[in-house]
């Protein structure tokens, strides 16, 4: 087994996309940066989650994911329709699924997410799951902000989080401008 990958150019820089082609398959990774720059991180991650550190470039396996991401950045797509292969704890997977319920151009607080999943006291755990989201943008962890409305934490950096929210038309008031 090998994780299939490709790179795409985007307004936020190169993104490395990973696809697990095993029986059910699906997009399993989006990393900020070119493969050569993040290779050791990706190999360690997939070794832990998938039992392999073998990554093979295969643009054909990621055509649909690449096209949907390019459409998002072009402003012609607001939601994604891709098979995902998310591996994490049951709680992490629950949080990641909840993040996909946050509408385009809106933000929720970590507390909002915790309440949404029925665990109102699990605010810090929601933050931890958000931090480990393997497919940012598709699972829109950039739409989660601090309770005060502050931009807090993002794997790609706060400048990318800010860009993504502005791209979606977020006005800073909780919904589209």
pLDDT of residue 174: 47
Spatial CA neighbour of 3 closest among 71, 73, 50, 65: 50
The verdict on whether 141 is a catalytic residue reads yes
Report percent pLDDT > 90 for the chain.
83
57-99 per-position pLDDT tens digit: 999 999 999 999 999 999 999 999 999 999 999 999 999 999 9
Place 172 in a pLDDT band, splitting at 50, 70 and 90: low
pLDDT digits (tens, 9 = 90+) for 8-36: 999 999 999 999 988 778 999 999 999 98
Report how far residue 95's alpha carbon sits from residue 128's, in angstroms, rounded to the nearest whole number: 10
| Residue 116 to residue 119: CA distance in whole angstroms | 8
Q: Do 94 and 59 belong together in one domain? A: no
E strand or H helix at 41:
helix 35-50
Question: Residue 103: which CATH number?
Answer: 1.10.10.10
Q: Is there a domain that residue 177 lies in?
A: no
**Do 9 and 68 belong together in one domain?**
yes
Q: Domain check: are 119 and 57 in the same one?
A: no
Residue tagged active-site, from 17, 86, 141, 145: 141
* Whether 94 and 121 share a structural domain: yes
Residue 175 has pLDDT above 50, yes or no: no
* pLDDT one-digit tens code per residue, 120-163: 999 999 999 999 999 999 999 999 999 888 888 888 889 999 99
Name the residue range of residue 136's domain: 90-168
Domain count within the chain? 2
Same domain, 158 and 95: yes
Residue 106 reports pLDDT greater than 60: yes
- Locate 65 and state its tokens: 């994911």
Judge if pTM exceeds 0.85.
yes
Assigned domain for 82 exists: no
């Amino acid at each position: 087994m090998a994780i299939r990958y490709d790179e795409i150019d985007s307004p936020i820089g190169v993104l490395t996309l990973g696809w697990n082609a095993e029986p059910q398959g699906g997009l399993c990774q989006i990393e900020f940066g070119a493969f050569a720059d993040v290779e050791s991180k990706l190999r360690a991650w997939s070794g832990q989650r998938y039992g392999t550190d073998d990554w093979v470039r295969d643009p054909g396996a990621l055509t649909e994911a690449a096209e949907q991401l390019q459409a998002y950045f072009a402003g012609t797509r607001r939601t994604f329709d891709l098979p995902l292969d998310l591996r994490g704890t049951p709680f992490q997977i629950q949080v990641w699924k909840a993040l996909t319920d946050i509408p385009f151009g809106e933000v929720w607080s970590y507390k909002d997410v915790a309440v949404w999943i029925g665990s109102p006291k699990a605010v810090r755990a929601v933050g931890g799951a958000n931090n480990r989201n393997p497919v940012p943008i598709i699972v829109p962890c950039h739409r989660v902000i601090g309770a005060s409305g502050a931009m807090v934490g993002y794997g790609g950096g706060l400048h990318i989080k800010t860009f993504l929210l502005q791209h979606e038309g977020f006005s800073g008031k909780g919904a589209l401008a």
